[in-house]
Structure 1
């Protein structure tokens, strides 16, 4: 919204649609972004994107931190994705985005780092749940399995790779393995592996990374 003139938003959206390409846009990360958009265009960044045909299932709003109820309805109703980046939002003191409300409205959630300071998708997954606990004083907004999907398969889908993020014949073999015997992860029974990975492991516990079937 800050980088592309309003008159060119529809052009970008058409370009992505014609090529069946994903479209990502930083959206309402900070209140100053919203204030500038309201002053210039008389509407929120989400409404501006909606009016120019940018929203839709191939589009992902990155951050989606400071949204109105109408914004949430527009994003969810168009099945526009949301990529939450909790560690950079925390680092920059941006705030906590309405992830639960967005998901309930119909916006698919994924996770990203958006940061050179912390590149750890396990921390992002953990932070999304813990942020909601702080906000609501209630636990259990997402299961560990749902958080892992947001950090893996759902992130792949947001990038337009429908054949990745799953382990089955014919799909891209992209995966990592996580040690369950480190000083952070040892102890829980194997059936709690997902919970251990999300709530105890860090990037330091990644043992193997395989991309396209090739160990890297």
Structure 2
């Protein structure tokens, strides 16, 4: 990830448009970021991007935590995507972003992991709804189906892969199978609610890539990851 000077943002945005490439930017993750931007440019980070022509369906605003009402209007009106990373945002104490307001304004939600606090997209999915509950003291902001779409089709599309993330004729057969009778998922209905609100990465029992079974042995996978981390962080 590189910082792009403000005067070069239009160049980057134009290149992304010309090459039909996705454009991702970390946006308003922390209050201090907004304050510094306001002091330097007299505008929020979202407003700076809008003036540079960097918002739009090809752009994904990662974090989008501390937004003004006008920021939400700009992101939604341009159909800019918002990529929430809830486990990172709570680990760093960044705050809770306006996920539902962004979607209501027209900004599709996607999900990601921006640190090594947790690497589990199942946890990211349910965290969006659970964080909204904490912020509002109300339940029922996001359905399991909406969150599953954010983690699959909408997430893939934001990366430029619109042929994956859904099960239908013509889509790539990149699939996972979940154990619906583990200690986490047993008795939860074996439905989308199970996937979003009960399962974890440990419940993935089969992985297909282009229809080919590439399921790793969990013991081998963990051991290899441990070796790599130890090599990088002696």
TM above 0.5, yes or no, is yes
Partner of 1:208: 206
3-state SS of 2:71 partner: helix
Measure the CA separation in 2 of the matches of 1:115 and 1:153.
22
Say whether the 8 Å CA contact 2:188–2:198 is kept in structure 1.
no
| Cα RMSD, aligned residues only | 1.3
2:176 counterpart of 1:176: yes
Change (3 A) 1:31 1:2: farther
Measure the CA separation in 2 of the matches of 1:161 and 1:20.
12
3-state SS of 2:53 partner: coil
Measure the CA separation in 2 of the matches of 1:94 and 1:141.
21
In structure 1, stretches of 5+ residues that fail to align are none
Measure the CA separation in 2 of the matches of 1:28 and 1:2.
16
3-state SS of 2:184 partner: coil
Say whether the 8 Å CA contact 1:83–1:112 is kept in structure 2.
yes
Measure the CA separation in 1 of the matches of 2:149 and 2:178.
15
Post-superposition Cα deviations, 1:42-91, rounded to whole Å, max 9, x if no partner, equal: 10000000000000011010000000000000000000000010000000
Q: Which moved more, 1:73-82 or 1:160-169?
A: 160-169
3-state SS of 1:208 partner: strand
Partner of 1:19: 19
Measure the CA separation in 1 of the matches of 2:91 and 2:53.
32
Partner of 2:7: 7
1:167, distance to aligned residue in structure 2 (A): 1.7
Q: Which moved more, 1:86-95 or 1:33-42?
A: 33-42
Measure the CA separation in 1 of the matches of 2:24 and 2:8.
15
Alignment of structure 1 residues 156-167 onto 2, 5 Å: 156-167=156-167
Alignment of structure 1 residues 142-157 onto 2, 5 Å: 142-157=142-157
TM-score by length of 2: 0.88
1:2, distance to aligned residue in structure 2 (A): 8.1
1:189, distance to aligned residue in structure 2 (A): 3.4
Alignment of structure 1 residues 34-49 onto 2, 5 Å: 34-49=34-49
TM-score by length of 1: 0.96
Measure the CA separation in 1 of the matches of 2:86 and 2:188.
26
Measure the CA separation in 1 of the matches of 2:159 and 2:172.
14
3-state SS of 1:110 partner: strand
Measure the CA separation in 2 of the matches of 1:150 and 1:35.
30
Measure the CA separation in 1 of the matches of 2:152 and 2:2.
29
Measure the CA separation in 2 of the matches of 1:126 and 1:188.
15
Say whether the 8 Å CA contact 1:27–1:46 is kept in structure 2.
yes
1:171, distance to aligned residue in structure 2 (A): 1.5
Alignment of structure 1 residues 54-133 onto 2, 5 Å: 54-133=54-133
